[in-house]
Chain A
């Protein structure tokens, strides 16, 4: 299966393009945009962990190490497309146009964090594992019925492939030829359980065979491979070619969430080694240096700009008015039924309002 589903690469660990077919497509502006978005995601992620450590937000879910997978794939999507993330995919949602402030508000326990900016079609992060594959399929189905060429991309991890909804999502999409890209980030662990205990199959991409759809296995730390192969899958979907299952093989350097300690279930030296050898940003930097489009002053300035942007968003998040208590009551239904209205009034009365 590893030969049938080879881990596709365009940019190898040394920053060398190994697939000549893509050389002409790697213009400076695209390369710099991919780097910029990955750096932004990484700096945001580190800020998220720090904010949690300082008690300024709640439990945070980090994704450092998975930037190429998230940014490459979301960059392949266009306006009007739909994105269905999990709670670990804010690298993807921020790249697709989610607001920094709202994503921070999410981790501050605020419902506003589930709301994308106007016109940006991002569903709230799915917490129940694999449930979102069906929503992505349904939303893309709706686009197909409306006769548009818009598509969905849905994110999920290696653990999600064990859930029933993984199967149901792929099966529905396959049967009805729905324009959806199933984007799997195989980071090797579902919290503590390694992928070898999650499945006996050698790859996740091979599961596509069961649905008679295309399955692609990628080096998920190679942003070029992720970007171009996802783009091809989306274009195929737009043209009526149906769904694709993409497995992006990657690694999270840190914990599942800020509430767990990965050293309990794996040797964190592995993360250090991978950081040295397969890091998605370092790899792109090497490529840019070899191409002569890397300037450390550019990178420094970029880092400063992004840091300022994130700090501004943190400020906005922290200066946000407290949530309205009524938000809890007033959005369960379009109109409050009497039990909710009674409960709301009774609570207001106790509060002396």
Chain B
């Protein structure tokens, strides 16, 4: 974790997103923001707070309420010289834009053998646990990790949020930048004022351990750390990896850790079937099969729609479920 130093500010994750946008907009006039309520209102979560005042309404653009329109026009802007950062108000609202992402944004480079490219970022708050209304809490990252031609990143803390966002804006290809709502204001962290990047495709060891590896990301990093610390107090040494990038996965970091511990618990709040956990198990199968001492455990959301918030605490993986999985792989 970054420590307090000259040239840092204590920021929440959502403030770090704003800071990343501001940094890149100051650096290049080609970086523009499009979305619903991103201008005067500064975004429903205030992620673009103050940016219209600094950069004007030609670069912080309040669009009509149309997700396909936002992504579709951003594609045109991106392949004609701009670096649009398109905001989806919630990941659960991205579905009308799915066609634009699947059939165009993600494959224009491939269709034209590189003659046209789409360097754009799609930002979207996601996940449950903030007592949001229906449809606002979806975790459908696997729809996009399955989609060829787009990278998917998820910061879990303010430092990574700014660094990953800058890396995403600088990336020559489309990046889906997922922001765990539950982490938006859950903690503050020292974030450098200056420009820096967190490399796409690199995870991070959040806590070192010897007997079990937890692979997780987003809002589940906190829950996993809690469970890991609790297990530690009972004499079980747990390593926690924040994947940070969901496509492409950090194969080296994952396999190194899993080969060390021989036991894995995967934690994500998205539904189990077809979720990222399946891909992680495949990766471990391909790289580390003979090192495994126990079947891999998954602690995930259920194969149900995210319920309304009265039941969401049951839907979300929590420390007791993760603890139970840790004991299961240890006692196999």
Contact = CB atoms under 8 A, between A and B. Distances in A.
Interface residues of A, number: 40
Contact of A135 (B104, B114, B149): B104
A131 B64 contact: no
Contacts of B80: 82, 138-139, 142-143
Contacts of A131: 72, 99-100, 103-104
Interface stretch (A52-60, A87-95, A107-115, A260-268): A107-115
Interface string B166-190: 0000001100000000000000000
A84 to B, nearest CB: 8
Contact of A137 (B73, B110, B112, B251): B73
B115 interface: yes
A183 interface: no
A112 B64 CA distance: 36
Contacts of A134: 68-69, 71-73, 75-76, 100
Nearest to B103: A128
Contact of B72 (A112, A135, A143, A338): A135
A140 B115 CA distance: 18
B64 A172 contact: yes
A136 B76 CA distance: 6
Contacts of B114: 331, 334
A171 B117 contact: no
Nearest to A154: B76
Contacts of A137: 72-73, 76
Nearest to A121: B80
B231 interface: no
A101 B5 CA distance: 61
A124 B116 contact: yes
Interface string B249-274: 10100000000000000000000000
* Interface residues of A, dominant DSSP: helix
B63 interface: yes
A334 B81 contact: no
B247 A165 contact: no
A307 B69 CA distance: 42
B305 interface: no
B82 interface: yes
Contacts of B58: 145
Given A124-B108, A131-B100, A138 B64 contact: no
A164 interface: yes
B64 A135 contact: no
Residue from A128, A136, A337 with most neighbouring chain B CB atoms (10 Å): A337
B113 A138 contact: no
B148 interface: yes
A332 interface: yes
Given A124-B116, A139-B76, A337-B201, A172 B66 contact: yes
B111 interface: yes
Contacts of B79: 123, 135, 139
26 contacts: A111-B110, A115-B113, A124-B108, A128-B103, A131-B104, A133-B72, A135-B76, A135-B104, A137-B72, A138-B74, A139-B76, A139-B80, A145-B58, A165-B72, A165-B100, A168-B68, A172-B64, A172-B66, A172-B69, A332-B109, A333-B173, A334-B172, A334-B173, A337-B247, A338-B248, A339-B248
Given A115-B115, A127-B103, A131-B72, 14 more contacts: A114-B111, A114-B113, A128-B104, A134-B73, A139-B77, A140-B76, A141-B77, A165-B99, A172-B66, A172-B69, A333-B149, A337-B201, A337-B248, A338-B251
Interface of B: 32, 58, 63-64, 66, 68-69, 71-82, 96, 99-100, 103-104, 107-117, 148-149, 151, 172-173, 201, 247-249, 251
Interface of A: 82, 111-112, 114-116, 123-124, 127-128, 131, 133-143, 145-146, 152, 164-165, 168-169, 171-172, 175, 327, 331-334, 337-339
| The 7 nearest A-B residue pairs measured at CB | A138-B76, A134-B72, A168-B69, A337-B248, A138-B73, A142-B80, A139-B76
